[in-house]
Amino acid sequence: MEKSELLKSGEFLVREVKPEDIFIPEEYDEEQLMIARTCRDFLEAEVYQHMEQLEKGDRELMKSLLKKSGELGLMGIAVSEEYGGFGQSFVTQMLAAETIGAAYSFSVAFMAHCGIGTLPIMYFGNEEQRERYVTKLATGELLGAYCLTEPGAGSDANSGKSNALPSEDGSHYVLNGQKMWITNAGFADTQTVFAKIENDRVLSAFIVDTASEGVVIGPDEHKMGIKGSSTAQIYYNDVKVPSANLLGKRGEGFRIALSILHMGRIKLGANVIGAAKRAITNSVKYASERKQFGTQIANFGAIKHKLAEMVIRTFAAESATYRVSRDIDDLVGQYKSEGCEKGRATIDAIAHYAVEAAILKVYGSEMLDFVADEAVQIHGGMGYSAEMEVERGYRDSRINRIFEGTNEINRILVVDTAMKRAMKGKYGLFEEAEKLAGAIGSMEIYKAKKPDDFFTEKSGYIKNLKKIALLLLNAASNTYDRKLVHEQEILNNISDIIMEIYITESLALRVKKIELIKGDAGIYRDILDVYVYDTVQKVRKWAMDAIHSIDNESSEGLIKAVGDLSDTAGVNVKAARRRIADKLIEDNTYKF
Amino acid sequence: MKILVCISNVPDTTTRIRFTGSKKLDTAGIQWVINPWDELSLTRALELKDANPGLVESVTVAHVGPVSSEPTIRKALAIGADSAIRVNSDAHDAYFVAAQLAEVVKADNFDLILCGIESSDFNGSTVGGMLAEFLQYPSVSAVSGINIENGNLSLTREIDGGKELLSLAVPFVAIVQKGIAKEPRIAAMRGIMMARSKPIKLVEPVMTEPLTEIVSYEMPPEKEACRFIDADKPGELIDILQNVEKVI
């Protein structure tokens, strides 16, 4: 099966994709599975037993566990071989991130080090900086942190006040400022700090050694969750930063920060899957043991509904996560073949898939919040007790909707970036949208027919949903033009629709590919059946909300079109969910 | 000194075992791993090599099984074994496996042969003893410690109420208990990368008739729910024992 041309970011809205074009987790090779196993073995042997102590904010313990993971080579997975790492593919990096994602605050500390703590230097550093820092960050000899947020500059990162003044002899900069919410602040040796040089409008990035005179680390914040992760403020009082530690060019900091945030977002998309799978396993084990009214609570339909829905959403998120991960790998390969240096090729490829990165971040974090919440609910009163792991999971989950760019920012990014890429002529989003809107009364609408193949039906609905997204984009941009950015409620509706389309399509392609490989997709058909049915209902609501809010003269035609496009055949969701839950209960662990 | 660790490929201990019919294990969805006792033996062998680089020349793993068990062998290589030997056959029974392993030992003159005391799937506990017999080597069972001091091997065995210390000259077979190593060694990233290029020598089996045949498997009966009888109604208990369960 030959692969089609690589999809551009956001292009899924206007192009059909075949199952053979995507990567699915069922295709991991032996080495990838072995790496995942190593991550899991490490957590089992070294981390989980210390969770209680980590929760007390034991910085030294966290530091020693991070160092141990470094000794195993886990910190070098994403780092090139030239700098002491293992240069693994993006899919493998994501699989490792997923596996470590099950380890609560350890995961946050580990990911902060390996991602935002190491990769800015890996991707944007010069040879000397990489040799000096990355080789040691890759082994855990040095631990890293990323310092962007300030008291007055959160989502609006470029408004930061930290300042760097060049010394007269040009040998160093004098850095002053204050950073907050810095993960690993308590023990990081090396920081990537963003500040404006003189009166620049945009940020520059610096590598700062924590040991430098004038760097003051505040006490750890008292947080709702991820208590084991050290989070503190850092103050810079006339810190001398050698000129050689300017990362990238002067004024390139904001671009570096954004690129790294895209990377952080997409990796968060992997982390949450690991956390969700662990919560599901804890939940099914509890539900199979806990008896009420003379039977295990896992036998009750209400609990089965919860268990199945947790599985469905996790499986769906996973499908999209690894689909885009392989697209990134392919794009890295393409950039490299065009002569791009490997590190730069990777970060550029990640930044290219900004729409999908934002989707994974928002969808994944909300998926985990749902799963963590239901995990507590299944545990009943015990779920509210700090003795149970699900209580920690519930608190720890919440930050995912906030950091790496809030979900509100990311929702807007999904639509905004897709539109900007389309405007740059990368693909014909607006042309397609206009064409559809122009022929709204006569457009082709998929209607389920009885003899239709299962997958033809599902992809028919997904095509319908894409038409809804295009019609709304057209109506919104025609009505508001450049002022659309101020209509955040409508943008949110459209964003939710676009996100669900990507997730649903990825799920449908994965299930179809499983069927192609195994001959019968079995229980995965149930997952797809329920998911598509639910998605269509949700999209209908969001679309109607948007149309009534836009309120232009063509809304009548739009309402009818959306109504027709969001019509599905019925699904016995109760029976399908029960079958999914029964497999989970039989396996007594997440094994999908 | 050349160390051979015999490894068995077993379902992960968390696997829910199912059968297709009464004679065949349903392998769908099973995660295969190195038998835990063998994994600990391998860990200890590698520790001995690390601590005595001049003395311990190599650590090799041997396995009797089809090509589908190679991921487990490569895992052993990733953990740190220098090389591997796979006897290309299903492991029909313990006698068959021991006969094949004996040929492997003879071909390469291994000095110290480590076998886990049992495998976590069939729990036969017979391969190690049979292997020693085939080779006419001494064997020591239930070994919970192996040390090298001044170039000499000493073994520890857990015995009733205490420990037994032995020393003996190679070659011999040590049948190893848990406790031989603290925790199984985790495959490090470097090991995983290096495993790609480490050799797995393929050996065809020698003709051996298995001595046993599995007739059928049976799942343990489902546990029945516990019935509580009111302490004020002992007659009810007697009635159940006499007329329902018919045990008195």
Structural domains in chain B, sorted by start: 2-215 (3.40.50.620)
User: What would you report as the CA-atom Rg of chain A, rounded to the nearest whole angstrom?
Assistant: 24
The Cα of B118 is separated from the nearest Cα of chain A by a number of Å equal to 22
For residue A426, the model assigns a pLDDT of 76
Distance from C-alpha of A133 to C-alpha of A83, rounded to nearest angstrom: 9
The mean per-residue pLDDT over the stretch B31-60 comes to 96
- Chain B residues whose beta carbon lies within 8 Å of the beta carbon of residue A45: 183, 186
Is the model's pLDDT at B163 over the cut of 60? yes
Is the model's pLDDT at A1 over the cut of 60? no
Nearest-CB residue to A30 (from B16, B29, B74): B74
With an 8 Å Cβ cutoff, are A74 and B189 in contact? Answer: yes
- Chain B residues whose beta carbon lies within 8 Å of the beta carbon of residue A587: 16, 29
For residue A489, the model assigns a pLDDT of 96
Per-residue pLDDT of A132-184, as tens digits, reads 999 999 999 999 999 999 999 988 888 899 999 999 999 999 999 999 999 99
Q: Which residues of A376-412 are buried (b: 16+ CB within 10 A; e: fewer)?
A: bbbbeeebeeeebbbbbbbbbbbbbbebbbbbebbbb
Sheet of B200-203: strand order equals B162-167, B152-159, B139-149, B172-176, B112-116, B2-6, B58-64, B83-87, B200-203
The Cα of A506 is separated from the nearest Cα of chain B by a number of Å equal to 23
Contacts of A271 (CB under 8 A, 6+ apart): A97, A98, A100, A101, A107, A111, A364, A400
The Cα of B242 is separated from the nearest Cα of chain A by a number of Å equal to 25
Distance from C-alpha of A592 to C-alpha of A318, rounded to nearest angstrom: 11
With an 8 Å Cβ cutoff, are A38 and B14 in contact? Answer: no
With an 8 Å Cβ cutoff, are A294 and B225 in contact? Answer: yes
For residue B52, the model assigns a pLDDT of 95
Per-residue pLDDT of A397-414, as tens digits, reads 999 999 999 999 999 999
8 Å CB contact between A558 and A471 = yes
With an 8 Å Cβ cutoff, are A34 and B29 in contact? Answer: no
Element (H, E) at A206: strand A204-209
Query: Which candidate in A11, A366, A391, A404 is catalytic?
Result: A404
Nearest-CB residue to A86 (from B75, B189, B195): B189
Phi-psi category of residue B146: left, alpha or beta, with phi > 0 → left and psi -120 to 50 → alpha: beta
Nearest-CB residue to A72 (from B29, B186, B225): B186
- Chain A residues whose beta carbon lies within 8 Å of the beta carbon of residue B187: 34, 37-38, 41
Is the model's pLDDT at B217 over the cut of 90? no
Q: What does the block give as tokens for A339?
A: 């002569």
Q: Which chain B residue lies closest to A76 (C-alpha atoms)?
A: B189
> Which of A172, A169, A170, A150 has its CA nearest to residue A161?
A150
The mean per-residue pLDDT over the stretch A304-327 comes to 98
- Strand extents, DSSP E, A332-484: none
- Chain A residues whose beta carbon lies within 8 Å of the beta carbon of residue B195: 34
Interface membership of B71 toward A (CB under 8 Å)? yes
Q: Which chain A residue lies closest to B71 (C-alpha atoms)?
A: A30
Contacts of B14 (CB under 8 A, 6+ apart): A589
How many Å from the N-terminal Cα to the C-terminal Cα in chain A? Answer: 25
8 Å CB contact between A260 and A122 = no
> Which of B183, B168, B32, B190 has its CA nearest to residue B112?
B168
- Chain A residues whose beta carbon lies within 8 Å of the beta carbon of residue B186: 38, 41-42, 45, 72
Question: What CATH code is assigned to A428-587?
Answer: 1.20.140.10
8 Å CB contact between A553 and A243 = no
Question: What CATH code is assigned to A145-247?
Answer: 2.40.110.10
With an 8 Å Cβ cutoff, are A45 and B183 in contact? Answer: yes
Distance from C-alpha of B157 to C-alpha of B140, rounded to nearest angstrom: 8
Mutate to test the interface with B, among A28, A31, A524, A588 (most CBs of B within 10 A): A31
For residue A113, the model assigns a pLDDT of 97
Mutate to test the interface with B, among A26, A29, A32, A34 (most CBs of B within 10 A): A34
Is the model's pLDDT at A514 over the cut of 60? yes
For residue B20, the model assigns a pLDDT of 84
Distance from C-alpha of B60 to C-alpha of B116, rounded to nearest angstrom: 15
8 Å CB contact between A216 and A248 = no
Q: What does the block give as tokens for A149?
A: 């947020």
Per-residue pLDDT of A427-443, as tens digits, reads 889 899 999 999 888 88
Comparing A452-466, B174-188, B209-223, the range with the smallest average pLDDT is: B209-223
Domain boundaries, chain A: 11-142, 145-247, 253-409, 428-587
For residue A341, the model assigns a pLDDT of 87
Number of Cβ within 10 Å of residue B100's Cβ equals 27
Cis peptide before B138 (omega within 30 of 0): no
Q: What does the block give as tokens for A493?
A: 């509706």
User: What's the residue count for chain B?
Assistant: 248
Which residues are paired to A153 by β-bridges? Answer: A150
8 Å CB contact between B63 and B42 = no
Which residues are paired to A176 by β-bridges? Answer: A163
Per-residue pLDDT of B132-162, as tens digits, reads 999 999 999 999 999 998 889 999 998 889 9
The Cα of A32 is separated from the nearest Cα of chain B by a number of Å equal to 10
Helix (H, G, I), strand (E, B) or coil at B210: coil
The mean per-residue pLDDT over the stretch A189-210 comes to 97
For residue A386, the model assigns a pLDDT of 94
- What is the overall mean pLDDT for chain A? 95
A487 is catalytic: no
Q: What does the block give as tokens for B207?
A: 């003709």
The mean per-residue pLDDT over the stretch A462-487 comes to 93
With an 8 Å Cβ cutoff, are A73 and B187 in contact? Answer: no
Q: Which chain B residue lies closest to A42 (C-alpha atoms)?
A: B186
Q: Which chain A residue lies closest to B190 (C-alpha atoms)?
A: A73
Q: Which chain B residue lies closest to A31 (C-alpha atoms)?
A: B192
> Which of B172, B168, B167 has its CA nearest to residue B132?
B172
Percentage of chain B exceeding pLDDT 90: 75
Sign of CA dihedral A187, A192, A198, A201: negative
Is the model's pLDDT at A363 over the cut of 80? yes
The Cα of B90 is separated from the nearest Cα of chain A by a number of Å equal to 21
8 Å CB contact between B9 and B17 = no
Phi-psi category of residue B123: left, alpha or beta, with phi > 0 → left and psi -120 to 50 → alpha: left
With an 8 Å Cβ cutoff, are A45 and B186 in contact? Answer: yes
For residue B22, the model assigns a pLDDT of 74
Q: What is the CATH T-level fold of the domain A11-142, as seen in this structure?
A: Butyryl-Coa Dehydrogenase, subunit A; domain 1 (1.10.540)
User: What's the residue count for chain A?
Assistant: 592
For residue B242, the model assigns a pLDDT of 92
A-B contacts at Cβ under 8 angstroms = 47
> Which of A549, A543, A534 has its CA nearest to residue A565?
A543
Interface membership of B219 toward A (CB under 8 Å)? no
The mean per-residue pLDDT over the stretch A442-462 comes to 89
Chain A contacts to B (CB-CB under 8 A): 30-31, 33-35, 37-38, 41-42, 45, 71-74, 76-77, 86, 294, 586-589, 591
How many Å from the N-terminal Cα to the C-terminal Cα in chain B? Answer: 64
With an 8 Å Cβ cutoff, are A72 and B16 in contact? Answer: no
The mean per-residue pLDDT over the stretch A75-79 comes to 97
Q: Which chain B residue lies closest to A295 (C-alpha atoms)?
A: B225
For residue A354, the model assigns a pLDDT of 94
The Cα of B186 is separated from the nearest Cα of chain A by a number of Å equal to 6
Question: What CATH code is assigned to A253-409?
Answer: 1.20.140.10
The mean per-residue pLDDT over the stretch B84-93 comes to 96
Nearest-CB residue to A591 (from B29, B183, B188): B29
* Cα separations in angstroms, A548 against A202, A366, A435, B35: 40, 26, 22, 63
**B192 residue type, one letter:** I
8 Å CB contact between A465 and A500 = yes
Largest pairwise CA distance in chain B: 76
With an 8 Å Cβ cutoff, are A586 and B16 in contact? Answer: yes
Contacts of A359 (CB under 8 A, 6+ apart): A320, A414, A498, A499, A502, A503
For residue B114, the model assigns a pLDDT of 98
Same fold, A145-247 and A428-587: no
pTM for the whole structure: 0.94
Sign of CA dihedral A168, A174, A176, A180: positive
- Chain B residues whose beta carbon lies within 8 Å of the beta carbon of residue A586: 16
Helix (H, G, I), strand (E, B) or coil at B186: coil
DSSP 8-state assignment for residue A240: E
Distance from C-alpha of A219 to C-alpha of A182, rounded to nearest angstrom: 11
Is the model's pLDDT at B224 over the cut of 80? no
Backbone angles phi, psi at B165, to 5 degrees: -110, 135
For residue B158, the model assigns a pLDDT of 87
Q: Which chain A residue lies closest to B186 (C-alpha atoms)?
A: A38
* Cα separations in angstroms, B176 against A281, B52, B100, B161, B190: 33, 20, 19, 19, 28
Is the model's pLDDT at A2 over the cut of 60? no
Interface membership of B16 toward A (CB under 8 Å)? yes
> Which of B7, B25, B5, B4 has its CA nearest to residue B16?
B25
- Strand extents, DSSP E, B74-167: 83-87, 112-116, 139-149, 152-159, 162-167
For residue A460, the model assigns a pLDDT of 95
The Cα of B91 is separated from the nearest Cα of chain A by a number of Å equal to 23
Task: Tell me whether residue B158 is exposed, middle or buried, using C-beta atoms within 10 angstroms of its C-beta: 0 to 12, 13 to 18, 19 or more.
Answer: middle
Which ipTM was obtained for this model? 0.91
